[in-house]
Structure 1
């Protein structure tokens, strides 16, 4: 199943974005909404003397429009005479883009095995369980792009499917050559679960935590950039989606 990535972002803490207005200077209606639990991410110009605020509450994004006198606020979507949604662009800029940037940074800091050249123009993160047959299938289907140098897959190793999955994931992360170990395993060789140093096992534990915190449920789950935005695919992608994930047609 393919999801717009903003749905996943609702599971993360929302990020406050710098605004030209100090918190003590919020208009009274905005301050009242803040006291009710609304989080303000930024301010933007709106038509007809209104001041807009990009906001969120419990993962739900919304815009707030304050009248010129600062005494009244309208919570909702603004539409112009042509039916264009004037709330989407501010929410993209002030809420979604910062959230997606933070999520990408979290993925960068996770513990992964590099599959593909360092200078590949397209980076893709995928949560991989050693006991997942679909992870192997995804690895195999991605070979043309990886071997052509177009894509670097970063396998975030998790242990979530079977009781011995954490030990197998640790064995791959702790291998003398993790890249070769993952390559051999994905190509069909079995991996033997084995005790690893505490810091290696802790890496798998932290990856599992991230998997849970993001509300993920399937492996592989893959995150990538497309047209400047983050996208997520749960499970094996269809052919058209695979091409999008890999950044283009089959090499």
Structure 2
């Protein structure tokens, strides 16, 4: 993977302003060079010291670019003021992370998932889940107080990646007459589960599983379970692996009753 070299600039503290979503496709030559390396510019913002700021996405992350006053050079990375504050955070949050979070949430909504909990739950939590994942099972157990109280609905985005029969088992759950009941029976049984993989996975289900796996990679999830939720400010947050109690309360939005 090619990594762009980050250059940290320490300048006097002058606030960033005038954040604008990008609509033009023609950028100055130095910005085009960064785009040629895989970044996608999504907006511009004013920066101190005569610099022109550009917000970009790169490998699922926000990247700040600063065009020099002569228009001939670009600085890539964080911009710090004299107090050490990162002046790149606000524009990247507004131009990259908020829109990207909304987009990814909508994509998860449209993916092939199995609900666990009440459809009237006020909090939705997504997780990428493999039927053979013991840590997914542990998270399922951790979530019981919130799910059973009706406060939280888990949405298991099924993938088949850990073992040769994972895809067949995921297909069996997705294709069950009552997927939620099948999933809960499988998780409740733990190691004693009798879930049998489907021998012949229907084409549509195979397509859903492939799309789920692609989505998992695009969202930067490298293992199961990877959990996604919205924090109190509506920002998309990620938890990879089994959460500790404090993190679990943040994910679920409250302490268990």
Q: Does TM-score exceed 0.5, indicating one fold? A: yes
- Of 171, 193, 197, the residue aligned with 1:193 is 197
Partner of 2:104: helix, strand, or coil? helix
Matched, 1:248 2:254: yes
More deviation in 58-67 or 110-119? Answer: 58-67
In the other structure, the counterpart of 2:208 is 203
- Change beyond 3 A, Cα 1:231–1:37: closer
2:242 is aligned with 1:236: yes
- Residues 15-34 of structure 1: per-residue CA shift (max 9 Å, x gap): xx8426x333x445545555
Tell me the residue number matched to 1:7.
Answer: none
> Which range moves more in the overlay, 183-192 or 171-180?
183-192
Q: What TM-score comes out, normalization by structure 2 length?
A: 0.77
Q: Identify the range of structure 1 (44-53 vs 98-107) with the bigger mean alpha-carbon deviation.
A: 44-53
Q: TM-score, normalised by structure 1?
A: 0.79
Equivalent residue, structure 2, for 1:112:
113
Q: Relative CO higher for 1 or 2, CA cutoff 8 Å, sep ≥ 6?
A: 1
Cα drift, residue 89 of structure 1 = 0.6
SS in 2 for 1:113: strand
The structural deviation recorded for 1:36 is 6.2
For residue 131 of structure 1, what is the aligned residue in structure 2?
132
Whether the 8 Å contact between 1:174 and 1:196 is mirrored in structure 2 is no
Aligned to 1:147: 148
Q: 1:221 aligns with which of 206, 214, 226?
A: 226
Q: Show structure 2 runs of 5+ residues with no match.
A: 1-19
User: Would the alpha carbon gap of residues 152 and 77 (structure 1) be closer, same or farther in structure 2, given more than 3 Å must change?
Assistant: same
Q: Return the offset for 1:161.
A: 1.8
Where 1:82 maps in the other structure, the secondary structure is coil
Aligned length: 233
Secondary structure of residue in 2 paired with 1:161: coil
Q: State the shift of 1:122 in Å.
A: 1.2
Distance (Å, rounded) in 2 between the aligned partners of 1:202 and 1:103:
19
CA 219–49 in structure 1, closer or farther in 2 if over 3 Å, else same: closer
Indicate the residue corresponding to 2:13 in structure 1. Answer: none
Q: Do the aligned partners of residues 23 and 219 (structure 1) sit closer, same or farther apart at CA in structure 2, a change above 3 Å counting?
A: closer
Q: Post-superposition shift, 1:49? A: 4.9
Q: 104-113 vs 193-202, which deviates more?
A: 193-202
Change (3 A) 1:147 1:170: same
Taking only aligned residues, the RMSD between alpha carbons, in angstroms, comes to 2.7
Q: Which runs of 5+ in 1 are unaligned?
A: 1-16
Distance in 2 (CA, whole Å) between partners of 1:193 and 1:49 is 62
